[in-house]
Amino acid sequence: MLKLNAKIKVYETVSLIPTPKFYEFNYVKNVSINSSYKSLTDTATIVMPQKVYTDTKGFDQNLFTNASGEEKTIHDFFKLENYIEIFLGYDGDYKPAFRGYITGVQSDTNATITCEDAMYAFKKVKAVKDDDIQDKKDHLNIVAVNPATNVDSFNPKTFFEKRVKELKLPFKVNALDENLGNIVVSRNHSLAQVFEMLKDKGIYTYFKTETSGPVLTITNNPQQHTPNELSSFIDRNFIKSPLAGALVKKLINEGLNLLGSQLNKVIQPISGGFSGRVNFRFRHNIIEDKLIVVNESSKNTRTRIEKYFKNSNTPIFVELGDPNGQLSKTHILHNDTENLPQDPTLFEKTTTEIASELYQYGALRAMQSKPNGFEGYILTFGEPFVRPTDKVILENAKDKEKNGTFQVEKVERSYGENGYRQKIYLGRRVESV
């Protein structure tokens, strides 16, 4: 029988930056962790005895008694905004299940510690650095006099890599390298608020767990769709518009698209980290099956994508779905710096290329909301370890539609008196490339 093991490290911090000083706990009553690429912040809750055991490995024994000999409690070590790492596993094998900050400590019969992942730091840090600040002592929470700033040619990779480096926060950045045009950022906005703003544009931000540490991941393609999948989806849902004829289809099939080389480029595993692919077998290591098979459906609905230019109030637009269906979503894009050409021949060429780009933009958004795959979850043991955006291979199902490779959307992890479990929520079926 496998033996459960847990390890919790709590680091003291200065301005949210972990210091070398930490306390290590090798016991815990219960741990629950919720993780999803769709939510900006992962959370964890730890339940521990209030009393601190003085023989716990890794402690300085002098910490446990004050001058009067009074015994210390868990509250002396779990403090607000301390950095925390949770490792879980079996038989001495520890996997990094959570990294983040302590956001609450409650006292009762036991101590309940609530945590948020590293996104907590970005909720405290302003997005735009400004030397003209109201409080020069608060170098993280900068409040500027100027209400907003216009970021020209906003690129997530260059913008956030530079900002994280400036703040000296110990997080790696794996961000989309794409020019998103001009973006107006309020000088009171935190970095997390900018991430929320980007989500409205179809760009997701989340921390991905790697063995080396949390990686800030910013991507327009969290479900890791391939160009072949996009092209196939467009073929099935193509609606001819005034600009969408045979030439547009040809450009699409040749791979001309808005995403270009950025598609899938951002989500790359860190060397020496997790594989990103795990196998499960029904009637073997799947405890409970609550999966419902869903199929792509755009019948009776259509999606519209519009793009406006500096010298035109009339947008270039395309539509996907059922030509006679109800309009379910309109994506509006702006280009405040570029003009459409006046020359008729060049105008036709440019608008045709733009139309092909808009089809791929719309297809990616539609595929994210209506994929072929699953709704629901499987309940498994704590191993093999699974993270959001990992791929899960299901085998040996009586319902053959449940066999295949699927992407993980969310993981609810629980550890404690009732064992170690993962509730894995699955999404799209991953097509063979």
CA distances to 218, 219, 259, 265, 416 from 262, rounded to whole Å, are: 11, 9, 6, 5, 41
CATH fold of 4-117: Thrombin, subunit H (2.40.10)
Domain boundaries of the chain, sorted by first residue = 4-117, 123-219, 223-433
Alpha helices in 204-311 (DSSP H): 227-237, 246-253
Neighbouring residues of 195: CB distance < 8 A, sequence distance ≥ 6: 40, 119, 122, 205, 218
Q: What is the pLDDT of residue 433?
A: 42
* CATH for 123-219, options being 2.40.128, 3.55.50, 2.60.120, 3.40.630: 3.55.50
Encoded tokens for 364: 């990616």
Smallest CA-to-CA distance from 257 within 135, 365, 341 is with: 365
Encoded tokens for 108: 């009762």
**Cβ of 284: how many Cβ atoms within 10 Å?**
10
Q: What is the pLDDT of residue 108?
A: 77
Smallest CA-to-CA distance from 13 within 95, 103, 94, 96 is with: 103
Q: What is the pTM of this model?
A: 0.84
> Which residues of the chain are modeled with pLDDT < 70?
52-71, 130-152, 241-273, 298-299, 370, 432-433
Instruction: Look up residue 316 and give its amino acid.
Output: I
Strands annotated E in 137-268: 148-151, 172-175, 183-186, 204-210, 213-219, 238-239
Three-class SS of residue 297? coil
Q: What is the pLDDT of residue 81?
A: 95
CA 267 to chain centre: 10
For residue 401, give the DSSP letter. Answer: G
Helix, strand, coil abundance in the chain, percent, nearest 5: 20, 40, 40
Task: Judge contact between 300 and 326, C-beta under 8 A.
Answer: yes
Helix axes 227-237, 246-253, angle to 10 degrees: 160
Q: What is the pLDDT of residue 86?
A: 97
In this chain, the answer to whether the domains covering 4-117 and 123-219 adopt an identical fold is: no
- Residue with tokens 């033996």, as numbered in its chain: 3
